[in-house]
Amino acid sequence: MYREAASGIPGVLVWTATRTADSAGTSVLPDGCTDLIWHEDGLLVAGPDTRAQFSDLGTRRDLTAVRFGPGVGPVVLGVDAAELRDARVPLDHIRPGAHVRRLVSDAESDPVGALLRETRRRLDGVDRSVETGIAAQLGAGASVAEVAGSAGWSVRRLHRHALRAYGYGPKTLARVLRFRRAVGLARTGRPFADVAAECGFSDQAHLAREIRALSGTTLGALLG
């Protein structure tokens, strides 16, 4: 069973998943986020995805994790998001072994507390307003040129920054965030044509193509 909860830290969510014997795995949809996942064998980082990824990790283990919103993960993990794109990497591959062992030891008795303490420590005093603002503008439908101009940057500089902060360029980030918004609206029961119009797709057929490209299936199947 999968559950989400607020963490008390802006841009960070806690989630847990309890293993179920009859589960065959799940499709993880792209959302621009990075996850730090604890289970009985250690700590795993799930990077920002450009397409749906199949995962059966939760069929074998109970999982506890923190999900970092776009731009947050690199600050906590100390690595550019582009290095984690579409990847699943043990934490000790990107962080010092001694540090990871201490975190694993703490997580054995209190996984949520250990992960949140580490997150707060890494984010303390860090100004994330630029990354938050860029993601918010792109998610609201602003063009790449408009976002770059609002930051006083060139489009090229925005692209380089986006790769480090989000794992992909601003156009891909905008595409993923629009996909995420469309799926969320559809899950509220909105007609697909209304979802397409509100999210800025040219028509319902355009929405359908994007859903299939990013998820590998149809919007109706996702909702089912």
Weakest mean pLDDT among 50-59, 87-96, 135-144, 212-221: 50-59
pLDDT of residue 37: 97
Instruction: Map residue 66 onto helix, strand or coil.
Output: strand
Cα separation, 50 vs 41, whole angstroms: 27
8-20 residue pLDDT tens: 999 999 999 988 7
pLDDT for position 22: 63
Asked if pLDDT for residue 144 goes beyond 80, the answer is: yes
Residue 49 has pLDDT above 90, yes or no: yes
Interatomic CA distance for residues 223 and 109, integer angstroms: 36
Q: pTM for the full model? A: 0.93
* Lowest mean per-residue pLDDT among 23-37, 72-86, 138-152: 23-37
Backbone angles phi, psi at 4, to 5 degrees: -120, 155
Pairing verdict, β 53-55 and 26-28: antiparallel
Tokens 């109970």 map to which residue?
Answer: 62
Q: How many CB atoms lie within 10 A of CB 158?
A: 21
**Is the model more confident about 25 or about 194?**
194
pLDDT at 158: 98
Query: Which is nearest to 38 in space by CA: 128, 105, 121?
Result: 105
Cα–Cα distance, 11 to 68 (Å, whole number): 6
As a whole number of Å, the CA-based R_g of the chain is: 18
pLDDT at 61: 85
> pLDDT tens for residues 80-121?
999 999 999 999 999 999 999 999 999 999 999 999 999 999
Q: What is the pLDDT of residue 126?
A: 95
